[in-house]
Amino acid sequence: MTATATTATFPCPRCGTPLMYGTLACPACGGLVYSERLNEIAAEAQREEMSSPIRAALIWKQALPLLPPDSQQYRWVTQRIGALSAGAAMQSPYVPPGAHGYQPSPAAVGADAAVRPRDPLGLALAKTIGSMIISIVVYTMMFSKDAGGLRFGLEFATGFVLLMLVHEMGHVFAMRFYGLSASPPIFIPVLGALINLRQSPRNALEEAIVGIGGPVLGTVGAVVTYFIYLKTGSQLFYELAMFGFLLNLFNMLPVPPLDGGRVTAAVSPWIWIPGLLVAAYLLIFDSFNPILILLLVMAWPRVRRTLLERAHHSPYYDIGLPAKIAMGAAYVLLGGFLAVMWYLPVIRIAFAKMNGQI
């Protein structure tokens, strides 16, 4: 009698390739076999990290038997467990396969991917200061052509760029707090400034805090400028303050990739729909601004991925109701304050008419 050995197999949940039991990663598509369970573990652990790091470390340990020991994900989870056990903050957040951020995470693109580190200080300063100088030159030429007499060429251009720098530093401080790798602030004439995240936040709450950091600090800068105007009566500082309020108010529009889009992602991505409608209205009825066209083009891929493909059900957006309420309240309060300050001259005229002063 001849004995025949049989090997039990099961299909890869991602591509259907037959796999032997015990396989952790599909050799055909590279997907992790237990990605769904890993997502669940990650979501549960992340909810515990702020309140109970030790419990979070124990939850993360459940992921280790489901990951190939030679994978980058396995090393990241091991590092996170060690950091949580020691009470330290991780510098390289793990985003489980299948989680959705506004940029691909290292874990999502493969085990061999690595987070690009921050630029050396000298190179970062050169990029930021160099792009600031170029922007100041361009804005000086733009504002010097204004015949209204309210803008002051070089002085206004310098102040305007400095206010943008204050705004961008709000993002930088928030990114540093979470240990996220990013480029230095780069200034682009007419379009403003940007920071390129080289690493995804762990969840929508981190994204929202990084997003609102810019308008918060930018608003502080505009308020300080406005107080200088009140003390000195300088029309230059008045104009700078008003542009500062407008800059931060525009960034609070709930459309990705603007800061308001990142903040409202933590509350509900569905808020992007009225944001897109407002942007479209401004484009059609207010001014045919190329920046608004660019904004709508850039917004569509994430709106489609998140809403139409229902990615908002992923653990990335599962941050808990208290966090959603807190970010929603912060968004409304900051946006409301900026709107009041921008429309302050109109409000003053309205009150003066009501009191019979005009």
Sign for the pseudo-dihedral over CA of 300, 305, 306, 309:
positive
Query: Which one has a higher pLDDT value, 35 or 117?
Result: 35
pLDDT tens for each residue of 22-66: 788 877 777 788 888 888 888 888 877 777 777 787 888 888 888
Let me know: does 243 contact 158? Beta carbons within 8 Å. Answer: no
Identity of the amino acid at 354:
M
Domain boundaries, the chain: 9-90, 121-354
Instruction: Give Cβ neighbours of residue 66 (< 8 Å, ≥ 6 apart).
Output: 24, 32, 33, 34, 37, 38, 41
Q: How many separate helices (H) and strands (E) can be counted in the chain?
A: 13, 4
Assess whether pLDDT exceeds 90 at residue 224: yes
Q: What is the pLDDT of residue 310?
A: 66
Whole-model pTM: value is: 0.67
Assess whether pLDDT exceeds 80 at residue 260: yes
Question: Which contiguous run of DSSP H or E holds residue 242?
Answer: helix 235-251
Instruction: Grade residue 77 by pLDDT with cuts at 50, 70 and 90.
Output: confident
Q: What is the pLDDT of residue 324?
A: 93
Q: What is the pLDDT of residue 222?
A: 96
Assess whether pLDDT exceeds 60 at residue 285: yes
Residue 345's CB is within 10 A of a number of other CB atoms, namely 11
CA 234 to chain centre: 35
Q: What is the pLDDT of residue 268?
A: 92
Instruction: Give Cβ neighbours of residue 213 (< 8 Å, ≥ 6 apart).
Output: 170, 171, 173, 174, 175
Provide the 3-class DSSP secondary structure of residue 128: helix
Residue 262's CB is within 10 A of a number of other CB atoms, namely 27
Instruction: Give Cβ neighbours of residue 158 (< 8 Å, ≥ 6 apart).
Output: 136
